């Protein structure tokens, strides 16, 4: 070993002792050619995107300013849930829904993987802040990465750079987030456009509030401020400090009477959170504005209400299915440029295309695997989990208060999944605990956002199954406690929605998208006490007349089918829920067993 200093380690632009020591330690372990402190400037962005173009990772788009097309390695396209670990000191704290390994054991394994893993590459130090840096307690993190793609994407998804480093001062706490592609370069070795490793680990040390990621360049595995920090680590912080870190969009709804309501909604990945967050109401006089499309941090205010904040700064949305018909506001957002498109198709004139963007596909494309594609091709042009990465500030319906460190007071929480049967279009919980039961038993058919089979029904509690950073039984308990600790009259009301119910022929019963504004209207009218509901075994469901379907081409029979509570279908859920709850043993709050007993007796 020579002891030649790594360029960039000396003269660091900070005197933050813990940060300096950690960067030094990780640089010695991973042996990059140099260390670069990311400042977040335009010049830096020019340099990095230029480098990505030269490397063949990025193709500059002629038709969208400052935007790039990017194709990943075909094996590195989604979150890897089976390679994701919660390494709590005690295995019981990871619970039955997470992979676990003892922290020391995991560190030993990963230290060997990291040893020399950045050889021939640059280590970037990305200071970032989740949520506004003007917050009373800014939520700092620092990501170390050897991927320029990660730096460029983090610049969109989080507040990063010199101003964050400055705000961190000499001793502010931060979450260390270590990332390496696991693809060191030998002297003279030619790089590939998407370096990654077959060995992947996405690891969280909840007690230490630390993240170690290895082997993948994909969004949720590599942009560590997102799922790793803002959900898995933050959920642990939230449990300890009495708040909630949730997989929820945040939207602002204004009624024709100019009354405003803030709604948070949890859906599994790739179930339409971005579409709902940016919905264009089809009913006159209603307005939706966006605050966030994926993550909500919610804390109680002094007035006893629950306030939500979007910790992110960008949108990392599923591309296929996003079009002028389904989500015009997302299209307007990306049309302003400054975006990275990963695993979509490239048009011949230097733009992007994906299934569902327009009705007619272009006559010729380069598909996400770089091959010629025509409408006659057997395969899709874009990967089902292909993504656009775009600054949220470009969203034309962004609510001005998205950036308020105080957050916005939430009036209603929606839980939703993708279910062909059983679950009505919308159901209101009887009370908070019934709402927690709805969240804890939430189920959905799997999507392409994670590797594995698609379309299989699984329980996805609170749409947080892959993101709860501790024992899910304790997490349910935290929700129950949250209800107990606060004034019930000020808690948000809880609703369960299902846009995906099918008729006997397999067709969707509900048109969805902008028409979901009709469901939001019913929710608001419930808050205002003006909408009728039928009390069913599973909660309050709209009467056929109380749901505004005016102007919609839908027979009353179909509306009824969309709203139907069929006891025989629900009775089939009981053994599944029982089995699900049994997995949590003593950790399951007794309140949830009580709720299940109530459901059973109401169905009898
Ligand atoms: O995990 S990602 O953040 O990359 C996307 C998602 O699953 O929501
Ligand atoms: Mn998500």
What is the predicted pLDDT for the residue at 143?
Answer: 99
Q: Are residues 231 and 249 in the same domain?
A: no
Residue 209 is assigned to a ligand binding site: no
- Within a domain: residue 56? no
- Give the pLDDT of residue 271: 87
- 174-224 pLDDT, tens digit per residue, is 999 999 999 999 999 999 999 999 999 999 999 999 999 999 999 999 999
State in Å: Cα 62 to ligand 2 middle: 30
Distance (angstroms) between ligand 2 centre and the Cα of 81 equals 13
Q: Note whether 414 and 279 are same-domain residues.
A: yes
Question: Does residue 38 have a pLDDT over 50?
Answer: yes
Query: Has 539 been labeled as part of a binding site?
Result: no
Closest alpha carbon to 343 in 154, 151, 194, 182: 194
pTM of the shown model: 0.97
**What is the H or E stretch that residue 483 is in?**
helix 472-485
Last residue of a domain, one of 190, 206, 241: 241
Q: How far is CA 122 from CA 35, 55, 119, 155, 442, in A?
A: 6, 14, 8, 17, 43
Residue 228, domain member (yes or no): yes
Residue nearest to atom 1 of ligand 1 (CA): 220
Q: What is the pLDDT, as a whole number, of residue 9?
A: 86
Q: Whose CA is nearest to atom 6 of ligand 1?
A: 269
Strand-pair category, 387-391 with 493-497: unpaired
The helix/strand/coil state of 402 is: helix
Question: Collapsing DSSP states into helix, strand and coil, what is residue 541?
Answer: strand
Final residue of a domain: which of 349, 365, 394?
A: 394
Residue 4 forms part of a structural domain: no
Q: Rounded to an integer, what distance in angstroms lies between the CA atom of residue 373 and that of residue 72?
A: 17
Mean pLDDT of 499-509: 96
* Closest C-alpha residue for ligand 1 atom 4: 220
Please indicate, yes or no, whether residues 503 and 575 belong to a single structural domain of this protein: yes
> What number of other Cβ atoms are within 10 A of residue 485's Cβ?
9
> Does residue 10 sit within a domain?
no
- Structure letter (DSSP) for residue 100: -
Closest CA to 155 of 99, 106, 223: 223
Atom of ligand 1 nearest to the CA of 450: 7
571, 446: one domain: yes
The three-state secondary structure class of 189 is: coil
Contact 51, 68 (CB under 8 A): no
**Number of structural domains found in the chain:** 3
CA distance 539 to 456: 25
Q: Work out the mean pLDDT of the chain and round it to a whole number.
A: 97
Cβ atoms of residues 297 and 308 within 8 Å = yes
Q: Does the annotation list 272 as a binding residue?
A: yes
Does residue 56 surpass a pLDDT of 50?
A: yes
Which long-range contacts (C-beta less than 8 Å, at least 24 apart) are formed by 570-575? Answer: 570/422, 570/537, 570/538, 570/599, 570/603, 571/603, 572/422, 573/422, 573/441, 574/599, 574/600, 574/603
Q: Are 174 and 145 in contact (CB under 8 A)?
A: no
Residue among 169, 401, 456 nearest 289 (CA): 401
Q: Please indicate, yes or no, whether residues 299 and 432 belong to a single structural domain of this protein.
A: yes
3-state secondary structure of 131: coil
User: Which residue has the least CA distance to atom 3 on ligand 1?
Assistant: 220
Nearest ligand to the CA atom of 463: 2
- In this structure, the residue with its CA closest to atom 2 of ligand 1 is 220
The domain spanning residue 257 has which CATH number?
A: 3.90.228.20
Q: Which of 449, 465, 466 is the best mutation target for the ligand 1 pocket, counting ligand atoms within 8 Å of the beta carbon and taking the most?
A: 449
- Domain final residue pick, 366, 394, 422: 394
State the pLDDT confidence band at 1, using cuts at 50, 70 and 90. Answer: very low
Distance CA 573, CA 428 (A): 18
Residue 72, pLDDT > 70, answer yes
The H or E element that residue 140 is part of is strand 139-145
Say if residues 132 and 312 touch (Cβ distance below 8 Å): no
Q: How confident is the model at residue 4 (pLDDT cuts 50, 70, 90)?
A: low
Would residue 3 count as lying in a domain? no
Residue nearest (by alpha carbon) to ligand 1 atom 5: 220
Q: Please tell me the distance from the alpha carbon of residue 102 to that of residue 119, in angstroms, as a whole number.
A: 28
Kindly state if the Cβ of 232 falls inside 6 Å of ligand 1. no
Give the long-range contacts of residues 520-523, CB within 8 A, separation 24 or more: 520/253, 520/263, 520/279, 520/281, 520/286, 520/288, 521/255, 521/283, 521/286, 521/548, 522/426, 522/546, 522/547, 522/548, 523/263, 523/412, 523/414, 523/426, 523/428, 523/493, 523/495
Ligand 1 binding pocket mutation candidate from 70, 249, 294 (most atoms within 8 A of CB): 294
Query: Catalytic residues, which ones?
Result: 271
Cβ of residue 449 lying under 6 Å from some atom of ligand 1: yes
**Residues 354 and 443 reside in one and the same domain:** no
Please state the atom number of ligand 1 nearest to the C-alpha of residue 449. Answer: 7
45 located within any domain? no
Q: What are the pLDDT digits (tens) for 366-424?
A: 999 999 999 999 999 999 999 999 999 999 999 999 999 999 999 999 999 999 999 99
pLDDT on residue 2? 42
Q: Are residues 337 and 211 in the same domain?
A: no
Six token digits for residue 286: 């209603």
Q: Could you tell me if 484 and 580 lie in one domain?
A: yes
In a domain, 49, yes or no: no
Model pLDDT, residue 260: 98
Q: What's 169's domain CATH number?
A: 3.40.449.10
271 annotated among ligand-binding-site residues: yes
* 219 Cα nearest atom in ligand 1: 4
* 72 occurs within a structural domain: no
Mean pLDDT within 545-562:
96
Contact 168, 160 (CB under 8 A): no
221 CB less than 6 Å from ligand 1? Answer: no
425-472 pLDDT per residue, tens: 999 999 999 999 999 999 999 888 888 888 888 999 999 999 999 999
Residues 209 and 345 in one domain: no
Q: Is there a single domain that holds both residue 408 and residue 389?
A: no
Ligand 1 atom index nearest CA of 247: 8
The angle formed by the CA atoms of residues 221, 224 and 225, to the nearest 5 degrees, is 140
Q: Check pocket membership of 317 for ligand 1, CB cut-off 6 A.
A: no
Q: For residue 221, give the ligand nearest its CA.
A: 1
**232 and 337 co-located in one domain:** no
Tens of pLDDT, residues 279-309? 999 999 999 999 999 999 999 999 999 999 9
Strand-strand pairing, 426-428 and 493-497: antiparallel
271 Cβ below 6 A of ligand 1: no
Q: Is residue 352 domain-shared with residue 222, that is, in the same domain?
A: no
Query: Measured from the CB, is residue 305 less than 6 Å from ligand 1?
Result: no
Could you list the residue range(s) of the whole structural domain that residue 389 is in? 315-394
CB of 219 closer than 6 A to ligand 1? Answer: yes
Ligand 1: residue of 76, 79, 313 to mutate (most ligand atoms within 8 A of CB) is 79
Non-local (6+) Cβ contacts of 224 within 8 A are: 141, 143, 177, 179, 211, 213
pLDDT in tens, 333-356: 999 999 999 999 999 999 999 999
Span from the CA of 462 to the centroid of ligand 1 (angstroms): 15
**Would you say residue 3 has pLDDT above 70?**
no
Q: Binding site annotation covers 215?
A: no
Query: Residue 247 Cα, ligand 2 centroid: separation in angstroms?
Result: 6
pLDDT in the model for residue 270: 81
Residue 30 structure tokens = 């991973």
- CATH number of the domain where residue 332 is located: 2.170.8.10
SS3 per residue for 415-479: EECCCCCCCCCEEECCCHHHHHHHHHCCEEECCCCECCCCCCEEECHHHCCCCCCCCHHHHHHHH
Ligand 1 pocket check for 388: Cβ under 6 Å: no
Give the Cα separation of 499 and 423 in Å (integer): 9
């Amino acid at each position: 070993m020579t002891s030649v200093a790594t360029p960039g380690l000396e003269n660091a632009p900070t005197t933050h002792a813990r940060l300096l020591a950690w960067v030094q330690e990780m640089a010695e372990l991973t042996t990059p050619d140099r260390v670069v402190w990311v400042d977040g400037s335009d010049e830096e962005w020019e340099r990095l995107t230029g480098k990505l173009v030269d490397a063949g990772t990025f193709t500059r788009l002629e038709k969208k300013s400052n935007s790039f097309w990017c194709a990943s390695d075909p094996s590195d396209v989604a979150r890897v849930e089976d390679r994701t670990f919660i390494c709590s000191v005690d295995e019981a704290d990871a619970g039955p829904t997470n992979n676990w390994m003892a922290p020391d054991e995991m560190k030993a394994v990963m230290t060997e993987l990291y040893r020399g893993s950045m050889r021939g590459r640059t280590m970037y130090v990305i200071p970032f802040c989740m949520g506004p840096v003007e917050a009373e307690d800014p939520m700092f993190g620092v990501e170390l990465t050897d991927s320029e793609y990660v730096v460029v994407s983090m610049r969109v998804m989080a507040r990063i750079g010199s101003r964050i480093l400055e705000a961190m001062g000499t001793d502010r706490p931060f979450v260390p987030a270590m990332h390496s592609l696991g693809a060191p370069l030998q002297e003279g070795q030619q790089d590939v456009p998407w370096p990654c490793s077959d060995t992947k680990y996405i690891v969280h040390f909840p007690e230490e509030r630390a993240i170690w990621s290895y082997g993948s360049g994909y969004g949720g595995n590599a942009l560590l401020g997102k799922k790793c920090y803002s959900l898995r680590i933050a959920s642990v912080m939230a449990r300890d400090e009495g708040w909630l870190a949730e997989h929820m969009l945040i939207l602002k709804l204004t009624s024709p009477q100019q009354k405003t309501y803030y709604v948070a909604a949890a859906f599994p990945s790739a179930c339409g959170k971005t579409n709902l967050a940016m919905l264009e109401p089809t009913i006159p006089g209603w307005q939706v504005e966006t605050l966030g499309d994926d993550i909500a941090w919610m804390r109680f205010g002094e007035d006893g209400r629950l306030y939500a904040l979007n910790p992110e700064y960008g949108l990392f949305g599923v591309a296929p299915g996003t079009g002028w018909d389904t989500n015009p506001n997302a299209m307007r957002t990306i049309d302003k440029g400054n975006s990275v498109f990963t695993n979509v198709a490239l048009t011949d004139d230097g733009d992007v295309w994906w299934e569902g963007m327009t009705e007619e596909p272009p006559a010729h494309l380069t598909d996400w695997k770089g091959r010629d594609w025509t409408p006659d091709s057997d395969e899709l042009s874009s990967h089902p989990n292909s993504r656009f990465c775009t600054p949220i500030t470009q969203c034309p319906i962004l609510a001005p208060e998205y950036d308020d460190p105080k957050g916005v007071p939430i009036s209603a929480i929606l839980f939703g999944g993708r279910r062909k049967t059983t679950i009505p279009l919308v159901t209101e919980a009887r009370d908070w605990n019934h709402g927690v039961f709805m969240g804890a038993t939430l189920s959905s058919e799997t999507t392409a956002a994670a590797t594995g089979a698609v379309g299989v029904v699984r329980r996805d509690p609170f749409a947080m199954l892959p993101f709860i950073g501790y024992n899910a039984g304790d997490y349910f308990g935290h929700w129950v406690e949250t209800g107990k600790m606060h004034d019930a009259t000020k808690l948000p009301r809880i609703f369960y929605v299902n846009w995906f119910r099918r008729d006997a022929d397999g067709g969707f019963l509900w048109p969805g998208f902008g028409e979901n504004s009709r469901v939001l209207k019913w929710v608001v009218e419930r808050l205002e006490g003006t909408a009728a509901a039928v009390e069913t075994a599973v909660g309050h469901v709209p009467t056929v007349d109380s749901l505004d379907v005016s102007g919609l081409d839908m027979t009353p029979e179909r509306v009824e089918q969309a709203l139907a509570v069929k006891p025989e279908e629900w009775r089939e859920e009981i053994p599944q829920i029982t089995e699900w709850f049994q997995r949590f043993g003593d950790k399951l709050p007794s309140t949830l067993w009580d709720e299940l007993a109530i459901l059973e007796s109401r169905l009898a």
